[in-house]
Amino acid sequence: MTARPETVGMSKDRLARIDDFIQDRYISPGRLPHAAVLVSRRGETVYHGVLGMADVERKKPLREDTLYRIYSMTKPLTSVLFMMLVEEGKVSLDDPVHRVIPEWKALGVYGGGFMETFATRPSTRPMQMVDLLRHTSGLTYGFQERTNVDAAYRKLGIGTFGVKPSSLEETMMQLAKTPLEFSPGDLWNYSVSTDVLGYLIQKIEGKPFETVLKERLLDPLHMYDTDFFVPEGKADRLAACYQYVPGKAPVLQDDPTRSPYLRPPMFVSGGGGLVSTMADYQKFCTMLLNKGELNGTRFLSPKTLALMTSNHLPGGKDLTEMSVSLFSEASNAGIGFGLGFAVVNDPAKGLSSSTSGEYFWGGAASTAFWVDPVEELFVIFMTQMLPSSAYPIRRELRTLVYSAITESYA
C-alpha cells in the first residue's frame, strides 16, 4: 500500500512519470523485459511500480514477490554484517588482513610477467580490513580484463564470475599465490574484496558465512526470501535474466527453469551471490535510513553507519582521482567511497540532483538502490539485464525521483 506523496513533500503526478518513462522508453520497445521501482520517503512508500514480463519466453508477468539476482547489491549486506563484528570488538578496521588469513602475510605487488612467471615487489604496507571495505585492497576482478593479474584471476576462476568454481576457502588460497595490482591504500579498484570479507566473517565467527548472514542479519530483518539459492518451493518466482546485445533484442542469459541459482553454490559470494525480492531489500534500506535500527532491533549504531557512509578515500579524493577500475557500479565524478557503499561527495561534479551524503550501490543485472539521509528517502530499482552499463536508466531514475520532490530538506 502506498501513501499520498503530498503528505511527505512529493508530487503524485510527477512520480507517475516513472511508469510512463520506463514503459515507453524501455519496456514497450523491448529494451528491458521488466522493471520494478519503489520510492520511500519519511517511512512511507509513495510509489511502487511493477512493469513487464518476469519471463518473456513464457509470458509470465512480473510480480511483487518476484525473485531477482541482486549480484553486487549483496556487498552492502556483507559490509554491514562485518561492521557488526567490528562493533563487538571481534575485529578492527586497521587490523591487517593476514591476522585472520596468515597465508596472505607475504602478498606482493605485481612487478611484471605473466601468471607462471610473476615478478613481485613488497607492498608499502599490509592490507588492512578497511581496504577491503573501500576497495583499496589491491585486489581485482577477472572481468576487468585490464592487466595480467586479472587475467590470472580468470584462468584460476577466482571470484563470482570464475569459470572454475571453487569454495570460499580454496579461493582465498588461490589469492595467496596471486600478486596485488597495487599497494593497499594507493588506488581504488572494484574487486573481490567483499568476497574476502565473507570469508573473514566465516573465520572470525567459526561458522559458514551464509549461516552467520542468515542468523545475524537476514532473519532478524525478516528477509526470508533472500538467500544464495532459490529453494524448490520458490523456483517459479525467479525472474529470467537477459543479456544486452548492441543493436539487437536482448537475449536470454539465464533461464529460470535451469538456472544455477536453483541449487546451493560451491562459492558463497559475499560480493555478488544473493537472490532477493523488492520487499526484502526494502527492509534492509529501511533499517539503513533508520540509522541502523528496524522494528526494535538495533543492527548498527548510528555512529557506525555514519562512519560507513563517509568518504574513506585517502585525502578526501573522489573516484576520478583514485580509480584504476575499468568498471564499477558507480560513476566517478563527485563520487567517493565509504565502507561498503559509494558516497556522493559533490552532486554538481556529477551533474546530478543527488544530495551530498547520499550513498548507493548496484548489481550486474542493472539492479540499484540509493539512500538519501538528508531527504529521508530511499529508492530501489529491480530488473534483470546484463551488464548494468547497458542503459543510463539509473541516472534517469534519479532525475525522475528528485524532480518529484516538492519540499526539500537540503
Strands of 62-154, DSSP E: 68-69, 108-112, 119-122
Query: Which positions ≥6 away from 135 have C-beta within 8 Å?
Result: 188, 189, 190, 191, 193, 337
Domains in the chain: ranges and CATH: 1-410 (3.40.710.10)
The mean pLDDT of 389-404, rounded to a whole number, is: 97
The mean pLDDT of 105-130, rounded to a whole number, is: 95
For 150-164, 198-212, 228-242, which range has the lowest pLDDT when averaged over its residues? 150-164
Query: Which positions ≥6 away from 100 have C-beta within 8 Å?
Result: 91, 200, 203, 204
CA dist 256 and 267 (Å) reads 20
pLDDT band at 261 (very low <50, low <70, confident <90, very high): very high
Instruction: Please tell me the predicted confidence (pLDDT) of residue 162.
Output: 46
Please classify residue 151 by burial: count the beta carbons closer than 10 Å to its beta carbon, then call 0-12 exposed, 13-18 middle and 19+ buried: middle
DSSP 300-333: S-HHHHHHHTS--SGGG--HHHHB--S--SS--T
The mean pLDDT of 90-111, rounded to a whole number, is: 97
- The amino acid at residue 74 is T
CB-based burial, 198-222: b 16+ in 10 Å, e otherwise: bbbbbbbbeeebbebbbebbbeebe
Backbone φ, ψ for residue 54 (5° rounding): -65, -35
The mean pLDDT of 366-381, rounded to a whole number, is: 98
Please classify residue 333 by burial: count the beta carbons closer than 10 Å to its beta carbon, then call 0-12 exposed, 13-18 middle and 19+ buried: middle
Q: Quick check: 142 pLDDT over 50?
A: yes
Number of H helices, E strands in the chain: 11, 17
What percentage of the chain reaches a pLDDT higher than 90?
92
238 within 8 A of 274, measured Cβ to Cβ:
no
pTM over 0.95: yes
The mean pLDDT of 93-114, rounded to a whole number, is: 96
Q: Which of 196, 146, 150 is nearest to 171 (CA)?
A: 196
Instruction: Please tell me the predicted confidence (pLDDT) of residue 2.
Output: 83
CA dist 125 and 312 (Å) reads 17
- Helix/strand/coil for 244: coil
Which sign, positive or negative, has the C-alpha torsion 376, 403, 346, 71?
Answer: positive
Q: Quick check: 295 pLDDT over 60?
A: yes
pLDDT digits (tens, 9 = 90+) for 208-217: 999 999 999 9
pLDDT digits (tens, 9 = 90+) for 26-81: 999 999 999 999 999 999 999 999 999 999 999 999 999 999 999 999 999 999 99
